[in-house]
Structure 1
Amino acid sequence: MASSVLKRILFLNPEHKSLSFGSSSSPSSPSDQSRSLIETVVSILTQQRSKSRWSHLHSLYPDGFHPNDFSQITLLLKNNPHLALRFFLWTQHKSLCNHNLLSYSTIIHILARGRLKSRAQVLIRTAIRVFTEDNQVPNPLKVFESLVKTYTSCGSAPFVFDLLVQACLETKKIDPANEIVRMLRSRGINPKVSTLNFLISRVSSCRGGNAGYEVYREVFGLGGEENEDGLVEMVEMIWNEMARYDCVPNGYSYGLLIAAYCDEGRMGKAEELWEGMKVKEVEADVVGYNTMIGGFCKIGEIEKAEEIFKEMGLNGLDGSCATSEHLVNGYCGVGDVDSALLVYEDMCRKGFRPEASTFDVMIGGLCVNGRVDEALEILRDGVEHFGLVAKGKSYETLIKGLCEDGKMEEAFKLQAEMVGKGFQPNLEVYGAFIYGYIKSGNEGMAEVLRKEMLEMQMQEREI
């Protein structure tokens, strides 16, 4: 039996290395044999007639080409991107090359520098779908890493990264797209405004206006604390400029200003603008409705949020996952956990995938009302059906609830699971167990935990 009751040995994953931007890489220097093959293939492709070149190549190299050799050949064809693409497609069709990320990156760059954007984007989408190297890095980030490493050697064009971000957004891989934009901007590479607008629009449609507005603030440099106080004023100034030049605001531009008001809790101004949209017959979309619902839920005016939700349905718009999440947060915020449960169950029926924060709110709301078993069921349901990775706070809340109910064995098992997820026990967890054991009459175990807790505090002070 281990000397420590709550402490566990953690087997952590190796620290993930950040992507390298400091150097570029290209296919490794070819051997003499490879150099001869490369020169021969390039000569046949560039000098022979199109009808004979492919059969000639196939007869010479029936076993195909190594991806490194393919990349070197393609680099020598970079001034003829159409021919390079035909060579790539031919090797695919004849199964003459087991293409890897390097060979895909090379042909993508060649197509990008040749302004064959649609062709390049098709291959980017294929690369995202095909290549999975480990479970730690989403596929788009692996493709991004490879494109970065081969960018200079291929003499590529900057918009290749726009094509990657757009491909991510088209397949609803929002988080990787956002991360790629952050990494590019942190190194002084600014994606096109159209790409940033697409990112904001996609985030807004999938996660609501407030989330879209946060991305808007970040990508256009409005996220710093020094800009926070004048943020609404800045958006209002843009509106005044629009009016000055007779630009009629649409639903999207209304949504940005409404989101700015909601973000600061100025729901009176948001509501005034919302009514103004109706007067000017500007139709609100799902994002706009979600923004208003989320704003009212945030300040605890759940009745007004319900009114907006009903209006949304009357106008023939179905609520999205973000709609339900706002309502769950709102109901839990005012202590109406039964209504929150009904909304959550409706989300599950519709096949929505709640965010981890929604599970945290549900778990907290149920535990506050003494419904720990139901909260534990929500956690298990989230893990099983939605791949939930619960936060440490949710585990702490559940452990406290179980200890208060005297269910020490269940609390201990959950604590072991919590440590297995990488969350070490803190003072609140120790306090919950000590309280639980005292309540159940086990003073001996409570005393052991007190000593262990003091040891942990002393170690923290020394550190």
Structure 2
Amino acid sequence: MAFSQSISRKSFPFPPLFTKTHSISSSAPPISEDSLVSAAVSILKHHRSKSRWGHLRSLLTASKNNHLTSSQFSQITLKLRNNPRLAIRFFHFTVQHSLCSHSLLSYSTVIHILCRSRLKSQALSVIKSAMCVFTETHEQNTAIPVAILEALIKTYRVCDSAPFVFDLLVKACLESKKIDLAIELHEMLKSKNVFLRTDTCNSMIELVSKSRGCFAGYDLYRNIFDLDVDKVSKKQIGVKVVSPNVNTLNVVMVGFYREGLVDKVDEVWEEMERMGCVPNLYSFNVLMAAYCDDGRMEEAMRVWEEMENKGLNRDLVSYNTVIGGFCGVGEVVRAEEIYREMVMKGIESTCLTFEHLIKGYCEIGDVNLAMLLYEDMYRKSFSPESSMVNVIVRALCDKNEVSAALEFWSMAAKKHEAVMKKENYESLTRGLCQQGKMEEALKVQAEMVRKGFEPNSGLYDTFIDGYMKQGNETMASKLRKELLSKQMS
């Protein structure tokens, strides 16, 4: 029976070449290209999975070149398009055993077949693999992602692919931090009247904002959505109108918020309303955070009330944002009111909730309440940031409770691996010297040096004064000489 003939499942599960009564002879004539493709497809489709791969290798050994060409691989894979998982296994098998001279076109075939079955993560993985494998292209000065795009366009229709295949290519560039190439691909596709999904565009804008600044992100946003061309002109020149969504505007707002440009956040909010984009909970939280960080609590509470009027349920981020805002301006009582409302709503506190309140009480000098909150926080198994530990140490030192500050610090360093600031080392040392506890002060100062903080002249003066109060002229004189030597060196 010839290879080109179809094989019935009832008669033979695979070509006669591989029945027990036949074997491949080294003197057998080479298999033709058409027969090779047909035989490989039959083995892959009808053979049992355990022996499939061994027979496939035997088939390729008997072929003219002992391996598949890129074109042959694509022909075989296209016949497996309704079984994409088998297609990807076949692809990995040929790569693992070097059984195919793969090209960008054969990679593209696999990518399209995975996309048409909505296997996005696998398709993305193959795209990334292609970007690594093909470090050079036949055309000089052509970047690999651009070459991959050209190959995907060539094979798109024959593979009956899905449009988001181009989004995956751009996503691969973004994840590889190839920003300029991602933008170039977008422009190339746009020139062919192929438009990326809005969420892909949002990812581009977000990455540009983070890496190149909020204004670069804003410019890209306006360019992607043709916001500097009015709708009438777009229709006249035949430009497709693609509109941003609320998540696009959120990304732009976050870019300005990250750099502290509250007025720009306001402008984007107004732009959102002009475009008819309905702000979501995330939008309100970003606007409110911008006001809170800027100390504009009256405007933040206006947003807070508007959220309720819009029927939006405030979440943990909303509450933590407002609590932090009130603590930041010293209105801890208001922050406590919001905290109690949060608890009544059944929203669980986080480490950040406690840190806001603790820092707030420390700032207004109520260290006792701050310590009570810390104990409550610790009971809930939260581990505070070093910044919060430093705030408590500083507040205790300011209250002249140096022993309590030292005890708290020793505990926090062990339990939370907290790192103390230089200023707090100096405050502890100064306080202990003033109390005449010179030995403890020396231990703190030694720890400070081990952490890489060199003592300044003010700290030397503190020790000298401490020893003078004890009547220890010898140590005071020794420190004066050491300080003078440092100043002259």
State TM-score, norm by structure 2: 0.54
Distance in 1 between residues matched to 2:256 and 2:465, nearest whole Å: 49
State whether residues 383 and 389 of structure 1, in contact with CA within 8 Å, keep that contact through their aligned partners in structure 2: yes
Equivalent residue, structure 2, for 1:260 = 290
- Change in 2 beyond 3 A, CA 1:194/1:427: same
2:121 is the alignment partner of 1:118: yes
Q: How far did 1:257 drift?
A: 1.2
Distance in 2 between residues matched to 1:112 and 1:399, nearest whole Å: 65
State whether residues 162 and 192 of structure 1, in contact with CA within 8 Å, keep that contact through their aligned partners in structure 2: no
Q: How far did 1:354 drift?
A: 1.1
What whole-Å deviation, never above 9, does each CA across 1:97-140 have from its counterpart, x for those lacking one? Answer: xxxxxxxxxxxxxx9998775359999xxxxxxxxxxxxxxxxx
Equivalent residue, structure 1, for 2:305 = 275
Distance in 2 between residues matched to 1:429 and 1:55, nearest whole Å: 78
Q: How far did 1:273 drift?
A: 2.0
Q: How far did 1:283 drift?
A: 1.6
2:320 is the alignment partner of 1:311: no
Equivalent residue, structure 2, for 1:250 = 280
Distance in 2 between residues matched to 1:373 and 1:89, nearest whole Å: 67
Alignment of 1:194-343 (within 5 A): 194=203, 220=255, 231-343=261-373
Q: How far did 1:243 drift?
A: 2.5
- Change in 2 beyond 3 A, CA 1:85/1:405: farther
- Change in 2 beyond 3 A, CA 1:218/1:276: closer
State whether residues 261 and 267 of structure 1, in contact with CA within 8 Å, keep that contact through their aligned partners in structure 2: yes
State whether residues 362 and 370 of structure 2, in contact with CA within 8 Å, keep that contact through their aligned partners in structure 1: yes
Distance in 1 between residues matched to 2:470 and 2:446, nearest whole Å: 20
What whole-Å deviation, never above 9, does each CA across 1:260-308 have from its counterpart, x for those lacking one? Answer: 1112111111122212222333221111111111111111111111111
Asked which structure has the greater CA Rg, the reply is 2
Q: How far did 1:89 drift?
A: 12
Q: How far did 1:391 drift?
A: 2.5
Query: Could you say what secondary structure the match of 1:276 adopts?
Result: helix
Structure 1 residue identity aligned to 2:88: H
2:402 is the alignment partner of 1:402: no
- Change in 2 beyond 3 A, CA 1:265/1:222: closer
Q: How far did 1:88 drift?
A: 12
- Change in 2 beyond 3 A, CA 1:414/1:317: same
Query: Could you say what secondary structure the match of 1:220 adopts?
Result: helix
State whether residues 252 and 268 of structure 2, in contact with CA within 8 Å, keep that contact through their aligned partners in structure 1: no
- Change in 2 beyond 3 A, CA 1:444/1:152: farther
Equivalent residue, structure 1, for 2:482 = 452
State whether residues 396 and 404 of structure 2, in contact with CA within 8 Å, keep that contact through their aligned partners in structure 1: yes
Distance in 2 between residues matched to 1:340 and 1:376, nearest whole Å: 16
Query: Could you say what secondary structure the match of 1:370 adopts?
Result: coil
- Change in 2 beyond 3 A, CA 1:84/1:386: farther
State whether residues 112 and 160 of structure 1, in contact with CA within 8 Å, keep that contact through their aligned partners in structure 2: no
Distance in 2 between residues matched to 1:237 and 1:345, nearest whole Å: 43
Distance in 1 between residues matched to 2:276 and 2:329, nearest whole Å: 35
Distance in 2 between residues matched to 1:196 and 1:398, nearest whole Å: 47
Alignment of 1:303-452 (within 5 A): 303-452=333-482
State whether residues 433 and 446 of structure 1, in contact with CA within 8 Å, keep that contact through their aligned partners in structure 2: yes
State whether residues 432 and 441 of structure 2, in contact with CA within 8 Å, keep that contact through their aligned partners in structure 1: yes
Q: Which runs of 5+ in 2 are unaligned?
A: 1-39, 58-72, 78-86, 98-109, 137-143, 146-168, 184-199, 210-249
- Change in 2 beyond 3 A, CA 1:443/1:158: farther
- Change in 2 beyond 3 A, CA 1:88/1:399: farther
Q: How far did 1:373 drift?
A: 2.4
Distance in 1 between residues matched to 2:393 and 2:298, nearest whole Å: 31
State whether residues 403 and 432 of structure 1, in contact with CA within 8 Å, keep that contact through their aligned partners in structure 2: yes
Identity over aligned pairs, percent: 42
- Change in 2 beyond 3 A, CA 1:122/1:396: farther
How many equivalent pairs are there?
325
State whether residues 291 and 297 of structure 2, in contact with CA within 8 Å, keep that contact through their aligned partners in structure 1: yes
Distance in 2 between residues matched to 1:443 and 1:159, nearest whole Å: 71
State whether residues 254 and 286 of structure 2, in contact with CA within 8 Å, keep that contact through their aligned partners in structure 1: no
What whole-Å deviation, never above 9, does each CA across 1:132-165 have from its counterpart, x for those lacking one? Answer: xxxxxxxxxxxxxxx9x9697495756347558x
Distance in 1 between residues matched to 2:484 and 2:111, nearest whole Å: 61
**2:171 aligned to 159, 165, 168, which one?**
159
Distance in 1 between residues matched to 2:94 and 2:458, nearest whole Å: 59
Equivalent residue, structure 2, for 1:193 = 202
Query: Could you say what secondary structure the match of 1:274 adopts?
Result: helix
Cα RMSD between the aligned structures? Answer: 4.7
Query: Could you say what secondary structure the match of 2:403 adopts?
Result: helix
- Change in 2 beyond 3 A, CA 1:256/1:57: same
Query: Could you say what secondary structure the match of 1:327 adopts?
Result: helix
State whether residues 390 and 420 of structure 2, in contact with CA within 8 Å, keep that contact through their aligned partners in structure 1: yes
Q: How far did 1:406 drift?
A: 1.7
Distance in 2 between residues matched to 1:122 and 1:446, nearest whole Å: 69
Structure 1 residue identity aligned to 2:443: K
State whether residues 360 and 391 of structure 1, in contact with CA within 8 Å, keep that contact through their aligned partners in structure 2: yes
State whether residues 196 and 219 of structure 1, in contact with CA within 8 Å, keep that contact through their aligned partners in structure 2: no
- Change in 2 beyond 3 A, CA 1:376/1:90: farther
Distance in 2 between residues matched to 1:356 and 1:410, nearest whole Å: 22
Distance in 2 between residues matched to 1:243 and 1:365, nearest whole Å: 45
State whether residues 121 and 163 of structure 1, in contact with CA within 8 Å, keep that contact through their aligned partners in structure 2: no
- Change in 2 beyond 3 A, CA 1:56/1:420: farther
Structure 1 residue identity aligned to 2:326: F
What whole-Å deviation, never above 9, does each CA across 1:26-73 have from its counterpart, x for those lacking one? Answer: xxxxxxxxxxxxxxxxxxxxx896655766999xxxxxxxxxxxxxxx
State TM-score, norm by structure 1: 0.57
Structure 1 residue identity aligned to 2:171: F
